[in-house]
Amino acid sequence: MFSKRQISELFLLSVIFLIILVTGCTDNSTVQSGNGNINGESQIKVAVSIPPQKEFVESVGGELVDVLLFVPPGASPHTHEPSPEQLKELSKADIYAEVGSGIEFELAYMDKLKGINPGMKIIDCSKGIDLIYGDTGSQGDGFGDPHIWLSPKNARIMVENICEGLCEFSPENEEYFRKNSEEYISKLDMLDKDITMELEGKNGEKIMVYHSAWAYFAKDYSLIQVPVETEGKELTSGDISSLIEQARADNISVIFASPQYSLKSANVVADAINGRLVLIDPLAENYSENMAAVAGAFAEV
């Protein structure tokens, strides 16, 4: 038996397929053929899953790319569903730069998105990145922690993958893409150095976070992530009591939470330890500024 959500998804995608067939949305006059030629003022249309990727693609592609973002600011890739308008726009995309690490949005919809536009090039942004498994990052079902972008070192690799994909698609613009990529990667390298200096002396510091998104960041800068919530599971009263005991034992007075998720359990823990709740955003589009702000927040613990 199909769930109501599955029936809704099947109906939605059926409608979109009919629209594409009837209106000819994939006509070669409006979609790049795949040879990378940019005619006149047309741009390479690149679809991405999350806001940080939008900055990565625009930093490399510059004026030659037009980015379609699926999970908008404020939404969660764990629960977001693509809109009919997004699916229509996807039929015109030349490239999809997927995170590739197992975020729930892509696990749920990537096959369907590829089916809507089978001719678009797929860039796997996670290629070459070692995923974290185990207590610090496991998402269950054999997948590692999908939040690979929350490490400037990983972001560097993601940008390199995007650059290679754009160069393959549009080889006549390779010099332009590589120049932009090198400039942006230099900024990421500087960001990494700045964060290292910001967190100097914090080796082994325990950071209690509501959503377990920061394993890669913690690994890079020798922090210990203590998640309040894991794998999207609701906390029991016993879970909350254990977290309160752990926070008190570790002298934790700050709970870090993400604006995309409910803050109810995090507030309960913070109140119980007479601590405070601080919001940090794992999905902000202004990547470098946001990561520097997160490092500053962790440094104040």
Give the DSSP letter string of 192-229.
HHHHHHHTTT-TT-EEEEEE---HHHHHHTT-EEEEEE
Question: Measured in Å, how far apart are the chain's first and last C-alpha atoms?
Answer: 49
Q: Tell me the domain boundaries of the chain.
A: 12-17+26-33+41-194, 200-299
- State which residues of the chain have pLDDT below 70: 1-41, 134-143, 230-234
Instruction: Compute the distance between CA of residue 301 and CA of residue 299 in angstroms, rounded to an integer.
Output: 6
CATH architecture of 200-299: 3-Layer(aba) Sandwich (3.40)
Instruction: Compute the distance between CA of residue 275 and CA of residue 290 in angstroms, rounded to an integer.
Output: 23
CATH number at 12-17+26-33+41-194: 3.40.50.1980
CA dihedral in degrees (28, 34, 37, 43; nearest 10)?
Answer: 80
pLDDT of residue 56: 98
The predicted-structure confidence for 42-76, as pLDDT tens digits, reads as follows: 899 999 999 999 999 999 999 999 999 999 998 99
Instruction: Compute the distance between CA of residue 152 and CA of residue 7 in angstroms, rounded to an integer.
Output: 39
pLDDT of residue 261: 80
- Could you give the strand order of the β-sheet that contains 95-98, starting from the edge strand earlier in sequence? 65-69, 44-48, 95-98, 121-124
Same fold across 12-17+26-33+41-194 and 200-299: yes
Q: Are strands 44-48 and 65-69 parallel, antiparallel or unpaired?
A: parallel
pTM for the model stands at 0.84
pLDDT of residue 23: 37
pLDDT of residue 237: 82
Instruction: Compute the distance between CA of residue 223 and CA of residue 205 in angstroms, rounded to an integer.
Output: 5
The predicted-structure confidence for 247-271, as pLDDT tens digits, reads as follows: 999 999 999 998 888 778 888 888 9
